[in-house]
Chains A and B, each alone.
Chain A
Amino acid sequence: MRKFIIATTALALSAGLALAQETVRMGTEGAYPPYNFINDNGEVDGFERELGDELCKRAGLTCEWVTNDWDSIIPNLVSGNYDTIIAGMSITPERDEVIDFTQEYLPPEPSAYVALSPDVDLKGGVIAAQTGTIQAAYIAETGATLVEFATPDETIAAVKNGEADAVLADKSYLDPIVAESGGMLVFAGDPVPLGGGVGMGVRESDTELKEKFNQAISSMKADGTLNALIRKWFGEDAATF
């Protein structure tokens, strides 16, 4: 009997170990449609949800989705609360010093200003952006006054209630918001090319996981499924590979 117990425990333990190495926790923000958002059933949804599930399938990994505030999304990756960041994060040299990125799964895309009227002062006015984004860093350089918010939704609300003159964000995030604002919000100025494409963030020590996802992304690029997915979520005119 005792032998049997030991054997089953050993079996359970080793099964646990095998599983432990294959479950990957995917960290996302869940507040940035169409990239990632929490749908009305309370589940993570969006372009990155579909992409992530497909990548995990191709890499043979079991994936579990977790949401985390944008503010602390890098620190919580580094301290091991989840294993990847898949949250519309542009690859920048500053971030690359702290974490590693897979190859890009979205080509670089422009950012745009949105305001209540098309002729606001973008160089000297008050511009809203989400904390810790490439847009926030860019505004700080232009000489405009930067106001930062924790969520992308609050940056839009700030423009609507007059707290900020304009908001700078990824154009694909702003497109549906402007289209559905009933003429209240308009694009101002020219789109600004920022960032070097969007990739998945992983811990610098996690080279094996990074390689698995790199291969999965390559295979999705090769058979055209990635482009189809981009067109599905970002529209027919979206930049593809």
Chain B
Amino acid sequence: MFSFCTDPASLPQLEWFACYLTTGKHMAFYGSFLVVLLLLLVTAPVALAFGFGGAMAARARFAPLRWFGKGYTAVVRGVPDIAFFMFFVIALDQGIEWLRHKIRCPDWEQPIRQGNDFVVCAQAKMPLSNAAQWVHEAYGFTLAVLTFSIVFGAFAANVLFGAMRAVPRAQVETAEAYGMTHRQAFWRITVPQMWIYALPGLSNLWMILIKATPLLFLLGVEDIVYWARELGGAKTSAYSYPHPDWRLWYFLALLVFYLGLTRVSEIVLGRITARLSHGQATLGGQALRKGAG
């Protein structure tokens, strides 16, 4: 990074740290913070969409759709996250490769499962083995987003399902009295009003999602926990910057990062709650009315 970094062993402390903290490895560490933020930004809306779909399905009058919605929330919420992450990602990855194998290599004769091996033809590999490393990483990241979204979507579905039922029945009855169809009443009355009931549950989920991001590491994405452990470990002179065990400091940095992130989230969520409480028949809405009057 800096011109004086060519011979780290001879540097005084300050310069040594300036060089140490700007190595390629540290840049990857800083980059992984962005990966975590990106994961949160992509996963949250996708999971919310999954949750909305799940909640709508669970309320559906068409029985199989209702079973699907209820089954989705029950199964995913009931399985430990780690087990789901491990199983689902491997199963999904192999499922995709199996499908591609069936389409692209119809005249392949060997079995796909040979003992322990899962063997598909080279063209069916996902991503292709000659793809650049970033393609592999992007694919892993996408799988991670999808898995996170399915897990958190199930919890969001349950929250939204409850929120939809918490909208006072009288509101929907009034809508029906005005001649709105079932669908119109749902989209114009229930959905706009349900968010205030959903928010406490959803904000909880957001916090848990933030704290669950280190699971990325389990999915093979090199996230901040991976780099903190790798950088913090004691280094001998095989490395340019030998140092003793510094994991404590690296994990302390992670702690500060996560606390900062949750603190900012709390402030933002507090503002959203105040905004959504306007004109609602809830305690928060009542307080706003009194304050205004």
Contacts and interface: CB of A to CB of B under 8 A. Distances in A.
A6 interface: no
Interface size class of B (residues with CB under 8 A): 35 or more
B251 interface: no
A77 to B, nearest CB: 9
Nearest to B118: A79
Interface stretch (B19-27, B66-74, B144-152): B19-27
B123 A176 contact: no
A37 B238 contact: yes
Given A40-B240, A41-B23, A42-B27, A17 B125 contact: no
A16 B104 CA distance: 14
Contacts of B117: 78, 80, 203-205
Contacts of A23: 129-130
Given A19-B130, A66-B133, A79-B93, A40 B239 contact: yes
Nearest to B25: A42
A119 to B, nearest CB: 24
Interface size class of A (residues with CB under 8 A): 35 or more
Interface in B85-114: 90, 93-94, 97, 110, 114
Given A20-B130, A22-B130, A79-B93, A180 B119 contact: no
B245 interface: yes
B174 to A, nearest CB: 57
Contacts of B133: 64, 66
B24 to A, nearest CB: 4
B250 interface: no
B236 A68 contact: no
A118 to B, nearest CB: 21
B237 A176 contact: yes
B224 to A, nearest CB: 14
Contacts of A98: 116
Interface string B127-165: 011100100100000000000000000000000000000
B21 to A, nearest CB: 11
Interface string A54-90: 0000000010101110000000101111010000000
A204 B117 CA distance: 7
Nearest to B237: A180
Contacts of A80: 97, 117-120, 125
Interface stretch (A124-132, A136-144, A153-161, A211-219): A153-161
User: Which DSSP category, helix, strand, loop or mixed, fits chain B's interface?
Assistant: loop
Contacts of A177: 234, 236
A33 B233 contact: no
Contacts of A76: 220
A203 B119 contact: yes
A206 to B, nearest CB: 8
B18 to A, nearest CB: 14
A79 B119 CA distance: 7
Contacts of A66: 133, 136
23 contacts: A20-B122, A25-B129, A33-B238, A39-B25, A40-B240, A40-B241, A41-B23, A42-B23, A42-B25, A46-B238, A64-B133, A78-B118, A80-B117, A80-B119, A80-B125, A81-B220, A151-B229, A153-B234, A153-B245, A157-B233, A180-B242, A204-B115, A205-B117
Given A39-B25, A180-B236, 17 more contacts: A17-B122, A23-B130, A25-B129, A30-B230, A31-B230, A39-B239, A39-B240, A40-B24, A41-B23, A42-B25, A67-B222, A78-B117, A79-B93, A83-B129, A154-B233, A204-B114, A205-B117
Interface of B: 23-25, 27-28, 90, 93-94, 97, 110, 114-120, 122-123, 125, 128-130, 133, 136, 220, 222, 229-230, 233-234, 236-242, 245, 247
Among all A-B residue pairs, the 8 with the closest Cβ atoms: A153-B233, A41-B24, A23-B130, A33-B238, A42-B24, A40-B23, A20-B122, A42-B25
